[in-house]
Amino acid sequence: MCDQMRHRGPDDEGFHAEGPCAIGMRRLVIDLATGHQPISNENGSVCVVFNGEIYNYAEVRDFLLAKGHRFSTQSDTEVPVHLYQQEGVEGIGRLRGMFAYCIWDARRQRILLVRDRFGKKPLYYAASPEGLHFASELKCLLAAGLPGEIDEEALRLYFLLSYIPDPYTAFRAARKLEPAG
């Protein structure tokens, strides 16, 4: 799946596989020395793959440092890990920016998919008997074996509106995560 996005991120890639979860990413960066993903908390029990930018990350990072969290990078990508650890899902409301990310919580064996309030960064997903697949591009889901059946309702909406509204996609088996509320 990550190979399908090489054009968007030829500079770096990263993977994390643990139990029933495997996450990966590709990125285009200026400074490869910081922000390699996935990024984990201190004990490795929570990790993130992230696409986008958190505009107020310094403010949220300071809040988390005051709560005793230790950061290993200066990257905004590390903020969601510690914020989730501190406040759970409710912490998402503190973030300002354009982003889509996945948190893997190994302790709870739970995955959390998040988009910003305006849905600037895309995040597609598909549930199948093999599990949940997600990516920032639909072709990654196709590479994972997503059936390519066209969603007729999405096609109808496209002809009516000149775009496919969330949560629909062109494919029946895939959906687009709606923006955060």
Instruction: State the CATH number of the domain containing residue 21.
Output: 3.60.20.10
Task: Please tell me whether residues 102 and 143 are part of one structural domain.
Answer: no
pLDDT at 28: 47
pLDDT tops 80 at residue 3 = no
Overall size of the chain counted in residues: 181
- The pLDDT of residue 14: 60
What does the pLDDT read at residue 73?
A: 87
Pairwise CA distance, residues 27 & 5, whole Å: 9
CB 114 within 8 A of CB 80: yes
Average pLDDT over residues 95-108: 93
* Same-domain check for residues 164 and 93: no
Statement to judge: residues 180 and 164 lie in one domain: yes
Question: Where does a domain end: 93, 119, 145?
Answer: 119
DSSP per-residue letters across 15-37: EEEETTEEEEEEE--S-TTS--S
pLDDT at res. 162: 97
Q: Are residues 89 and 130 in the same domain?
A: no
Same domain membership, residue 81 and residue 14: yes
If asked whether residues 115 and 88 sit together in one domain, one would say yes
Same domain? 17 vs 33: yes
CA gap 89, 170 in Å, rounded:
29
The tokens of 105 are what?
């919580």
Shared-domain flag, residues 101 and 157? no
Range of the domain at 49: 1-119
* In a shared domain, residues 115 and 145: no
DSSP at 55:
T
Q: What is the pLDDT of residues 107-150, one digit of tens each?
A: 999 999 999 999 999 999 998 888 888 888 898 888 888 888 99
Instruction: Give me the sign of the Cα torsion angle 28, 32, 34, 36.
Output: positive
Among 158, 180, 178, smallest CA distance to 166 is for 178
Which pLDDT belongs to residue 31? 46
Structure confidence at residue 150 (pLDDT): 96
Among residues 119, 140, 155, the one where a domain terminates is 119
* 81 and 137 in a common domain: no
Of 27, 36, 51, 19, residue with least CA distance to 134: 51
Do 152 and 114 reside in the same domain of the chain?
no
- The three-class DSSP label of residue 117 is coil
The predicted pLDDT at position 51 comes to 86
Interval 145-168: pLDDT, tens: 888 899 999 999 999 999 999 999
State mean pLDDT over 38-51: 90
Sign for the CA dihedral angle at 42, 48, 53, 59 comes to negative
